[in-house]
Amino acid sequence: MPDLVTYEPIDRIAYITLNRPEALNAFDDALNQALGSAWRRFSGDDSVDVAILKGNGRAFCAGADLSSFIPRWEHATPGDLRKNADFGLGGGIVRGQHRIYKPIIAAIHGHAVGAGFELALACDLRIAAHDAVFGVFEMRAGLHQGDGGLVRLVAIAGIATALELTLTGRAVSADEAFRLGLVTEVVDGQELLAAAQAKAQQILKGNQHAVRSAKETIFELIGRPLDDALRLEALHGYSSFGDFSEVRRRIERFSRPSR
């Protein structure tokens, strides 16, 4: 049986692939647990600094597998609910393992709907193929987001867009997602991985101590009063360099006269 999630570390990039194509990479328990293991590996893997998350087959992720998802919560106990609050779908990257400060890029094609949309929103950057489709499809099953989708949709696109997309549950094309700020780039399908790799290479050019500190700081700034946020940014920013010798080398490169 093939791995439900594959993990390939190549040249400082971890390629994490959802591999349940027959179900459009919809989450069942096994896929969720496998992705959780991949995130733990990525977090502790010193050979990689960026992850690219993608889906095998015709879709990025079609959400939760309703054949197993609905029966579970129909008979859930308070203990089940409490346990779920500590670790959500998406292998915990939506909630529970969301404090990974290495950048994560989602390379999205086909459907990224329901929990798949929530998974995409939990990534730091999203690049979409022209055939990508997004949507709060939970509403079609009589539910709404419970794995960070509302929190991140409000933060990324604003209250008005979060309300409209959630209350209607309608499909959103890649081009509209770009206009709404849900994705950073839209490319032809055959160029999707290359575009994600190019974005990863831009990140890898930076001081990785500073990159991770910046991501951590952004997370910490959310919801804070202005004065607290400004102090926290100063504290993190002026201590983000890690090995100061690397900063000196970078400054010297910038200071050299061009020829």
Whether residue 200 sits in one domain with residue 220? no
| Domain total of the chain | 2
Residues paired with residue 52 on neighbouring β-strands, in sequence order = 15, 105
Same domain membership, residue 58 and residue 25: yes
Decide if 176 is catalytic. no
Of the listed ranges 84-88, 110-114, 136-140, 223-227, the one predicted with least confidence: 84-88
pLDDT at 250 over 70: no
Catalytic residue of the set 8, 22, 74, 118: 118
- Where in the sequence is the domain holding 10, given as residue range(s)? 5-204
DSSP per-residue letters across the chain: ---SEEEEEETTEEEEEE--GGGTT-B-HHHHHHHHHHHHHHHH-TT-SEEEEEESSS-SB--B-HHHHHHHHHT--HHHHHHHHHS-TTTTTTTTSTT--S-EEEEE-SEEETHHHHHHHHSSEEEEETT-EEE-GGGGGT----SSHHHHHHHHH-HHHHHHHHHH--EEEHHHHHHTTS-SEEE-GGGHHHHHHHHHHHHHTS-HHHHHHHHHHHHHHTT--HHHHHHHHHHHHTT--SSHHHHHHHHHHHHSPP-
User: Are 172 and 223 in a shared domain?
Assistant: no
Picking from 127, 105, 103, 122, the residue whose alpha carbon sits closest to that of residue 211 is 103
110, 24 Cβ separation under 8 angstroms: yes
Given 8, 138, 216, 246, the catalytic residue: 138
Query: CA 85, 86, 92, 95 torsion: positive or negative?
Result: positive
Is pLDDT above 80 for 257? no
Clarify whether residues 149 and 191 are in a common domain: yes
* Predicted confidence band of residue 7 (pLDDT cuts 50, 70, 90): very high
Q: Are residues 30 and 101 in the same domain?
A: yes
* 215 shares a domain with 191: no
Q: Tell me: do 191 and 214 sit in the same domain.
A: no
Determine whether 191 is an active site residue.
no
pLDDT in tens, 36-58: 999 999 999 999 999 999 999 99
Q: How confident is the model at residue 82 (pLDDT cuts 50, 70, 90)?
A: confident
Q: What is the mean pLDDT of residues 244-255?
A: 63
Please indicate, yes or no, whether residues 76 and 28 belong to a single structural domain of this protein.
Answer: yes
Tell me how far apart the alpha carbons of residues 4 and 225 are, in angstroms, rounded to a whole number: 42
Across the beta sheet with 104-108, what order do the strands follow?
Answer: 5-10, 13-18, 50-55, 104-108, 125-129, 185-187
